[in-house]
Every structure is written in C-alpha cells, then in structure tokens.
Structure 1
Amino acid sequence: MTITLTNPIVKLPRLTGRGWGRRIMMGGRLSDIKRMPRYIATALLGMTLIWAPLLGYLKTAPLSYRSTTSLILPGSGASASMNLNGIGQASSYANSAFASNAVSPTETYKRLLGADRILDAAADALDLTRAEIGAPRIRLVDQTSLIHVEMSGGSPVDAQAKGDALLRAFFAELDALREDEVNTREDSGLLAIDDFRSSVAETRRQITQLQIESELMSVAQYDRLVDRHLKLETLILDRRAGLSELRASLHALEAQLGLNATGAAATLKLFADSGYLAIIDEEARHEVALSDANARYGSQHPKVQEARKARDSAAEIALRLAMSVTGLDGTTLAALDLAPDGARAALLSELVLKQVELSASETELLTLNTQFEEGQAQIDRLAGAASDLQDLERDFSVAEAVFASAIARSETGKSDVYASYPLVQVLENPSLPDRPSSPNRKLAYLAGIAATMMLFFGLSLGWVRLALINKLLKKPDAQA
C-alpha cells in the first residue's frame, strides 16, 4: 500500500524544540529509515524488560507440587428401626442432606475443610507450622456432591502427606462434632427420661399404697369378685325355685299319706327295729288267740281274760319299746302309720328323703344368702378403690409408654449420627503428583511470547502513526 502525503500540515519544518515534540507525537515518514535505530533500541529494551524477569523467575522460583483429593457426599437418607418387646417399634429417619435448599452440606464442608482448627491439627500432625502447611484450595463441582481439595508442597511426597493430614484432621473433627451432637441430645434426653422415670415411680407408689390400704391387688380381681357375685345371685335364684318346688312336693306327699315327715321317719325307724317287730308279731298272735277265745267262750271266761291280758301286755311292751326307739310320746305314736309294708313303705321313705333334701336345701340357701350379703358388702367397700386403682393403672400405663418411647427415641437417636453432618466418603485419595504445578513454564513462555508480540505490534503502530493521523485528519474535509 502506498501512502501519498498531500496535506501541507505534515511537511516537517526545521526541528526546533517545538518540532521535536511534534515529531514525537506525529512520527515521521514511512520511508524514513533513520528512525530504525530508535525502534530497534526500544524493542531490545522492551524485550529485556519482558524476558529478564520472566527467565529469572523460572530459574529461581522453587518448585511446587499439588496433590488433589476428591470427596463425595452420598445423597440418600438414613433410617434406623428398633423393636421393643411388649411396647412396640421405634424408628427414626434422617432426610437426605440435599433435601433442603436452605442448607448446602458441600458448602458447610468446604468451610470446615478450611477452618483454622482443621489446618492447625493437620500442621501439628506433620510437625509443621500453620504457614508451612498452607491453605487448601477447595473447589465444588456444580450440580454434583463432589468436593475437590488441593494441597501444595515442596515435593510430591510432601504434598500428598499434607493432603492425608488434612483428611485425617477433617474426619476427626467430623467425628468429634457428631459425638458432641449425640452427647448434647443424650444429655437433654436424659433429663426428660429422669422426669418420666420419676412419674412412673410415683404412680407405681400410689398403686402400691392403694393396694395395701384396700387389699385389692388389681381391677381384674374386683371384676372377678363382681362376676362371682352375679353368679352367686343367679345360683340363689335357682336354689329358691328348687326349694319352692321341693316344699310343694313334700306338702303334697304329706297330705296324701296323712303323715308328716317326722312321723314317717319314726315309723320307718320302728319297723327297722327287729325287737319291736318281734313284739308286734307276738302281739298279733295274742290278738288271734283272743279272737279265738272270744269266739268259743264268753267275755269273762278265764281263757279269754288270759288272752286279753297277754295281748295288752304285749301291746304295752311294744309301746314302751316304740317310745324308747323313736323318743316320741304315746299320743304321737298313736297317730303313726303302723302298716308301712308294700308301696306305702316306699312313699314313707320318699317323704323322709324329701324332708332331708328340703333341710339341706334350706341350709344351703341360708349359706348362699350369707355369702351374697358378704360379697355385696365387699363389693361396695372396694368399688371406690377399684375405680381409683383403674385410674392409677391407666396413668401408669401411659407414663410407662411415654417413658419407654423416650428411651427408644434416645437409643435410635444414637444411631442417627449423620442427621446434621451427612456422610462423606473419599472418592479419590490424595494423589502423588508426577510434575510440579508451579512454576508453570509453558504458561510463562506463552506469556513472554504474547508480551513480545504486543511490543512489536505497538512499535509497528508507532512507525505508521503519521500516515494514520493524516488519514484521519483528511476524513472530515472529504465529508465536508
């Protein structure tokens, strides 16, 4: 490209002090080779200022190695369950660490990795100072749960050792934080458990005191007393009905026989005595002899009188024996049935048996009534105590359930150690670098080359600045 200078403004006058200033600002002609030494000197000076510090830094800067570590936080939650015999099941569930948008566990762990006490613990493990171990470079990967940690050292082994020490200090601090959280929760839970235990003990004491005072061991015992009382009442009603039936049967049999049970018993007793039966037989023979004598002789005949006397003597002996055997007087004995043979003897026996059953039933009913009255009095006396005992047992059950639930929550809470500080795993152990990370020679050389190119570009612009200025100055005239 050829540039023709036609504007008289660009003609160089004689170089005075003012001319030199204008020459520096405006430059010279493109064909003015005399300017070349100044540009070469400027280029050499600029390159010296660029490359001398750069090469000096590359030669004197100490080598630095960088060890990288990757951590990952699993995204799933944690759950724990415990079966308690006779009580139920206790369970706990911790949501995923990433379930809430308000708290980011990766940001929390990033801050924890760079905390002063973590770095101090890592430095103490390596017998270094805080300044010697340096600060880790922590980088979070977006949309993931990854944490990249970099530690620098003067050698590959040194960098890897710093990374290992940082990880050990980090996990030790995590364990300490989790243990402190569990202990804090346990301490607060123990206070509540002590209150629940005191409530259970107080309720148990009240139950024991009520049992001693009322002699009622449980509500079930009172229920059994009530059930037995109701059954006894039903039994009494049945016995009363049976007794009424037995009395009616006995009265009917007495009316049929014309004899009461006492007479029937005496009759049976008499005719069960062999001596009495023998006398009766003898009396019967004398009666026959008397009848025969009356048929043959007159009433005053000696044989008739002898036979009558023998009969009366036998009858008197029989009466005395009957009175001795039965304990009855003569008048009562005269009303007895003295012909108990055959079916009538069976009826007399049945009458006596029914009388015995009636007496037994009356005695049994009297005993049952006594037991019923005693049971009713006992139930009335224990009704209030049973009600109070039921209330206390219900309160005891509730207090015991709350107490057991508090213990279960306390125990399951111990297993939920990742609730506030989620589980973190080492995805990649601290690496052993195979090349230094600093100084970066390639980057330094590229920077030097770029600076050199910019220097030459600036000098090129300085060489043609007069032509560019004249061209810019001509544009307004041309437009006008």
Structure 2
Amino acid sequence: MELVLPGTGASSNVSIDNVGQVVSQTSAPFSSGGFNPRVNYKEMLLSRGVLFLASQKTEMTSADFGQPKIVLTEQTSILGISITGKSAAQANRKAWALYDSLQQELTRLRKDEVSRRDISIQGVLDDYRVKLNQARANVTEFQQRSFLVSLAQFELLVASLQSLKEKQIYLHAQVKNLANYRHGLSQNLGVSSDLAGKAFILQSDVEFRGLLKELDASTALLSEYQSRWGEGHPKVIAEQLRYNAAKKSLLNRSNEIAGPHASTSFTSLNLELNPKRAQMFADLIEASALHSGIQAELADLKRTELQLSDQVKLYARESAVLDRLQKEFDLAEAIFTSAAARIEAGKADVFASYPVVQVLTTPSTPTEVDSPITVLGLVAGAVGIIFITSGVTVLCNRRRLVKLLLKRN
C-alpha cells in the first residue's frame, strides 16, 4: 500500500468584537527544511509500539508479524509500504493492522501534545485571569465610591451642558426680538402691555361696557343741549347730572375690576369698533407674556448650567481615573480572551506537529505467491542432492583417496 501526506497548510483568523483577534496558522509539513515528516512516519512504522499494536490486532506475536519494508519516493510525500504473510488474506490483514496502528499512535501523540500544551498555557492563563479580576475589581470599587459610574455618563453630561448653552443663546435672541417687538407695539399704541391687559379686562366686562355706552350717549346729548340752550337750561342740568352719574359709576366699576385710574385711558376706547387695534393689543399682551416666560426659562437654565458646570468639574477628574482603570481592564480582558482563544484554536489544530496521513493506494491482495518460487526450489534441490551425494561419496572413499594422494606425492 501507499500512504500520502498532504502538503498544504491551513490558517484561520477570528476577530472578537471590541476585544481583539486570534490568528491560528498551520504550516505545511514540508515547509521546514529541518526535518521530513515522511522519515518520522517511516521510523514510527518500524517502531516497537506500532508493530506491537499491529501484531495484537492480527493476534500474532511481534516476531511472527515481522517488519514491513518502507520506500520513500523522492520529490513526493508518498510512503510505499510492503509486508508479507503466510497467505494473501493474512498479508492484507497485516497491512491494514499496520495502518490502523499508525493512526492510533498518531492520535495518542496528538492528544498528549495538546494536553501538555494546555497544562503549560493554563498557568499563564491563570495569571491573566488574576490580572483581569483585579482590573475588574478596581473599576467596580471606583464606581462604588464615586459619583461617576461610566464614561458615557460624563459624555452625556458634557453634551447636556453644551446643549444647554446653545439653547440659552437661542433664547437670548428670542428675548431680544420680543423686547423690540413689544417696545414697537407699545409706542405705536401708546399703552404698555399692562394697560393693554387692563383694557381687555374692562372691555370684556358687560357692566363696564354698558356704563361706557351710557356715558357716550350722555356726552352726546349734553353737548347738543349745551349748544342749543346753554348751561342753565333744565334739560342741560338734568343731562349733566346723568353724565356725572354715569362717569362716577364707570370710574367705580373700573377701579373695582382693573385697579385705580385704569379707566382714565379707556373711557373713550371701544375695541369692538376697531378689530385691528384690538388685535394689536392682543399681540402686545402675548409678546409681553412670552418675554416674561422666556426670561424665567433663561433664569432657570442659568441655574441648571451652574449646577451642570460644577458636576462637570467634579466628573472631569473622576472620568480621567475611570478611563485609566477601564483601559487597564480592557487590556487585561483582551489579553485573557486572546490567550483563551489561542488555546481553543490550538486544540482544533491537531495536525501541526503530526500531519494528517491518508491512504493513497489501499493494501493490495496478492494474486500469486512471492516465495518460495517452484523452479528455483527444484534447481536448489537438485544442486543440494548433487552436493550431498558428492559429500557422502568422498566420505565413504576417504581412505582410498588418501592412499592415492600419498602415492602421487
């Protein structure tokens, strides 16, 4: 039979997210010039251990099993193996037993290599594990005794502070815009936002509006009567009394609803008759309310900014320590994980030291007897008979031959 050793290597690359990567590479068995694995396998096939296993599989003794003949073909990775037996079936069984024993021995050696490598690496891995646990404990301890739990918390705080400042800039622009808008409306209307609000309060009161109409009607009649009859006419005096009563009632009602002197600016003002002016009053009131609301919001944001600034100053120092501890932990985790992954990758790479061997040509079943050869046996027998006969003849006539030789001498 013929065995072949594949000549290509293998490699694998495993990337672990946020941790690192593991590279596993198996070199081709013939890439190194220091040794030839075919020679190693030849010596293994001839070793006592493999031959003993093969003899047990065929239920033979090691002496009866014998040794195979192994030929290494140049410039190839092929091993040619030949083995003899008392019969064709026995020779075939011995060949398969030899191959199975070689594979069994290779499996044992590979397992032993992996086991020994694991034992040696496990000690280093334990050291890495201790460092990893210590780094994790340092991070946990710092988080427990500090206000900062994670770097994301500090980054969120900084982002919130920056957003707060940007919002304040925008609100300051709004406040300035509303202040200019309110000032322009106030100048055009001739009233302040407070007076505009009081005007809406008075105009929405039914009794005030009725008194205002009464005052307007009395004013018109009083002017008419005065121009027609003069100051002393009874109708003028009566209308004057009516006018004074309406004006006094209007003043009392305005003082009751909108405060003192509120009616001074609005006794002759009827917003229902001027919708555009009423809308401008409403805009003035709205602008004033928005201005006050945004100013209050700015004051609250300013207080919040001061609090966040103090927190950022505190967290800045703690974040530097936490970042250093976190980097130490990440480094320890990467080293530990990579080492563990290398161990697992090494377990999968069992053909690094002992390359895989395959059957290129299955053990052939002999079709004729290799030995003994019949013709050669007959010739050897005839020659043997001749030599034996000659020896017996010489032995029987040795005295006569001795005398004959002495006479010649």
Report if TM-score (shorter chain) is over 0.5.
Answer: yes
Q: Does 1:414 align with 2:347?
A: yes
- Farther off after superposition, 293-302 or 162-171: 293-302
Counterpart in the other structure of 1:364: 297
1:84 is displaced (CA, Å) by 5.7
8 A contact 2:21–2:338 mirrored in 1: no
1:240 is displaced (CA, Å) by 0.8
**Alpha-carbon spacing, 1:202–1:304, altered in 2? closer, same or farther (3 Å):** same
Counterpart in the other structure of 2:264: 334
Structure number with the bigger relative contact order (C-alpha 8 A, sep ≥ 6) is: 1
Q: Does 1:172 align with 2:97?
A: no
From 78, 88, 97, give the equivalent of 2:9: 78
**Alpha-carbon spacing, 1:390–1:301, altered in 2? closer, same or farther (3 Å):** same
Structure 1 residue matching 2:204: 3-state secondary structure? coil
8 A contact 1:80–1:415 mirrored in 2: no
User: Structure 2 unaligned runs (5+)?
Assistant: 388-409
Equivalent AA in structure 2 for residue 410 of structure 1: I
Counterpart in the other structure of 1:20: none
Counterpart in the other structure of 1:320: 252
In structure 2, C-alpha distance between the alignment counterparts of 1:144 and 1:354, rounded to whole Å: 96
8 A contact 2:11–2:24 mirrored in 1: yes
Q: Does 1:429 align with 2:367?
A: no
From 348, 353, 373, give the equivalent of 2:306: 373
Deviations 1:397-430 (A, max 9, x none): 4444444433443333233222212223343526
Aligned pairs for 1:204-215 within 5 A: 204-211=136-143, 214=146
Q: Does 1:352 align with 2:285?
A: yes
Equivalent AA in structure 2 for residue 435 of structure 1: V
8 A contact 2:157–2:312 mirrored in 1: yes
8 A contact 1:259–1:336 mirrored in 2: no
Aligned pairs for 1:181-330 within 5 A: 181-211=113-143, 214=146, 218-295=150-227, 299=231, 303-326=235-258, 328-330=259-261
Aligned pairs for 1:378-389 within 5 A: 378-389=311-322
In structure 2, C-alpha distance between the alignment counterparts of 1:390 and 1:175, rounded to whole Å: 49
8 A contact 2:208–2:254 mirrored in 1: yes
Aligned pairs for 1:440-455 within 5 A: 442=376, 445=380
1:106 is displaced (CA, Å) by 2.4
User: Structure 1 unaligned runs (5+)?
Assistant: 1-69, 453-480
Structure 2 residue matching 1:72: 3-state secondary structure? strand
Instruction: Point out the structure with max Rg over C-alpha.
Output: 1
Give the TM-score normalised by structure 1.
Answer: 0.66
1:441 is displaced (CA, Å) by 8.0
8 A contact 2:5–2:78 mirrored in 1: no
Deviations 1:27-83 (A, max 9, x none): xxxxxxxxxxxxxxxxxxxxxxxxxxxxxxxxxxxxxxxxxxx44332512315365
1:140 is displaced (CA, Å) by 3.8
Structure 2 residue matching 1:81: 3-state secondary structure? strand
In structure 1, C-alpha distance between the alignment counterparts of 2:79 and 2:203, rounded to whole Å: 121
Equivalent AA in structure 1 for residue 311 of structure 2: Q
- Aligned-residue sequence identity (percent) comes to 27
Equivalent AA in structure 2 for residue 73 of structure 1: V
Equivalent AA in structure 2 for residue 79 of structure 1: A
In structure 1, C-alpha distance between the alignment counterparts of 2:239 and 2:145, rounded to whole Å: 85
1:352 is displaced (CA, Å) by 2.2
8 A contact 1:193–1:403 mirrored in 2: yes
Structure 1 residue matching 2:282: 3-state secondary structure? helix
Equivalent AA in structure 2 for residue 228 of structure 1: S
Structure 1 residue matching 2:24: 3-state secondary structure? strand
1:185 is displaced (CA, Å) by 2.6
Structure 2 residue matching 1:419: 3-state secondary structure? coil
8 A contact 1:79–1:91 mirrored in 2: no
**Alpha-carbon spacing, 1:290–1:189, altered in 2? closer, same or farther (3 Å):** same
8 A contact 2:211–2:250 mirrored in 1: yes
- Farther off after superposition, 205-214 or 257-266: 205-214
1:360 is displaced (CA, Å) by 1.9
1:260 is displaced (CA, Å) by 1.9
Give the TM-score normalised by structure 2.
Answer: 0.75
